[in-house]
Structure 1
């Protein structure tokens, strides 16, 4: 197996292990909420004036799928919609108090997982981090270019969380 294959396999394996090791705790702590809903809540909390378009672009989902999800989140009382006085056309979302509780649980879990994994990250040098980050950024730009070259419209694809 060449180094490229080892890197790709390593990324997949790391991702799968992270999902697996965090899964039970996440599901127990966030019962009744799908992963996509929790990540939508997280995005809304961290990004001012979140709307369907921004959410769709961020999650590589269709606007229709995001509309469906935000409707569910509103029905659950986790988010609410609002409009700006100077733009009555656009609808934005913000968390309700109940939504902020879900966000806090999710953030606390991430902090707990970071603490668990801290010993390994403490062993990584600045130079190693820099090399990893440079590679990830280069690969991401390469994939962006390939997506563009192939004429893929990421907004119309249902890739993540569905």
Structure 2
């Protein structure tokens, strides 16, 4: 059992390090060289459509509105995001992706699709539910460890 524990631990630690580095190499291409991994995750959290308010985006990312403001300022300056104030309550700020931001969003989404497909293609129909259950357990651990209650 100790060998299995050590193998799983080594794989998880290695995967987390590699994922961050590989994602950066895969998504920060010539077209998006002015973005960071963090920028891409903010773009992903903003999502497609008419926009979201800053509080809901910050909640998705589990960061403060102040930290999100800094990130959004940078993305506005790079023309990936635009802001607008609510007509009903001027204190509420909505952000949405520009056309350039939508292209970055789809680029990032495509990377995730390829990564998921690469994993699924190696599994049988019976193995997929086992992987899903395993990943749900890992997600539950992380949410519990960080104090997050889930959404």
Which range, TM-score by smaller chain?
A: 0.7 to 0.9
- Greater relative contact order (CA < 8 Å, ≥ 6 in sequence): 1
Equivalent of residue 82 in structure 2, options 63, 77, 80? 80
Segments of structure 1 that go 5 or more residues without pairing to the other structure are 149-162
CA RMSD of aligned residues (A): 2.9
Segments of structure 2 that go 5 or more residues without pairing to the other structure are none
Structure 2 length as normaliser, TM-score? 0.75
Over residues 110-148 of structure 1, what are the superposed CA-to-partner deviations in whole Å (9 max), with x where a residue is unaligned? 22333333322446625513531452354245325xx48
Match of 1:12 in 2: 13
Over residues 70-120 of structure 1, what are the superposed CA-to-partner deviations in whole Å (9 max), with x where a residue is unaligned? 111111111111233322220011111111111122122222333333322
Equivalent of residue 97 in structure 1, options 83, 99, 103? 99
Contact 2:23/2:37, CA 8 A, preserved across alignment: no
Structure 1 length as normaliser, TM-score? 0.70
Match of 2:113 in 1: 111
Pair 33,126 (structure 1): closer, same or farther in 2 beyond 3 Å: closer
Distance 1:77 1:61 in 2: 22
Instruction: Tell me the matched-pair count.
Output: 146
